[in-house]
Amino acid sequence: MSEKFTEAQLVEYVDQAKADALHAFGFLRETGTLAATWTYHISHRIPGQDILLSIRFPWPWEKSREPVVAIEKFSDKKESILNEARLDADTVIHAHTPYLAAWSLAQKDFPILYVAAQRHLLAREIPNHLNRTRSVLDIISERLDQHPDWAPPPGLLESNGGANIWGKGIIGTSQLILLIEEAARFQAIAEQIGGAKEYTPGALDVQWKRTGLLEQVRAKGYVK
């Protein structure tokens, strides 16, 4: 919708976004995807509107379980990663998950070697934000400038912390968090028996074909 929201439309949209956030927070918590602190902060731009929703959940020791929703002008958020049009994202979520946090602590980029996650992603890895004097937007925009033949990453690890994952919609982006964290967990387990290996010939084509991404990979000539 390109026309400005009416007050009633905004209220309806915010109510649905809050419901989606509660549902996503619930399945991430119940599956053990989130760390014990339940760190899970959402920034969502309403498509076609100069409106940014920020949804923050309370810490586990707080008595209230209600998320706090803030409404701001997106045009005021110059440093938001959602300004990078090449990512085609309207949602970014900052979350702390156990196994992705381990990669963040190791200050290493995370290679995606688990098919259940890779079939939904064009990118093959999630870089680590080592230079924290620069914004997430600067780091990702520079990477896209330097490597136009690489698929845009779905997120950026926060060195010695959590991760920022972006995508389309609150539910869709939260699903990515679950799958990517699961990949990090299983790859950590694989280290005990020799480590996760690169995909065998044809494996990526099979996975991308299942989700309709294979044509995009071929059309754009992505190599990573």
| Six token digits for residue 84 | 């990078």
Q: What is the mean pLDDT of the chain?
A: 96
- Residue whose C-alpha is closest to residue 183's, from 116, 126, 123, 129: 116
As a whole number, mean pLDDT of residues 26-36 equals 97
Q: Is the pLDDT of residue 46 over 70?
A: yes
Instruction: Provide the CATH number for the domain formed by 7-219 in this structure.
Output: 3.40.225.10
For residue 223, the model assigns a pLDDT of 78
- Residue whose C-alpha is closest to residue 103's, from 129, 79, 83, 84: 129
Report the half-sphere exposure of 213 (CA within 13 A, side-chain side).
16
For residue 52, the model assigns a pLDDT of 98
For residue 2, the model assigns a pLDDT of 63
Which of 78-82, 116-120, 217-221 is least confident?
217-221
Domain borders along the chain are 7-219
Percent of the chain with pLDDT over 70: 99
Q: Which amino acid is at 137?
A: L
Tell me the CA distances in angstroms from 2 to 47, 50, 73, 144, one per residue in order. Answer: 8, 10, 15, 28
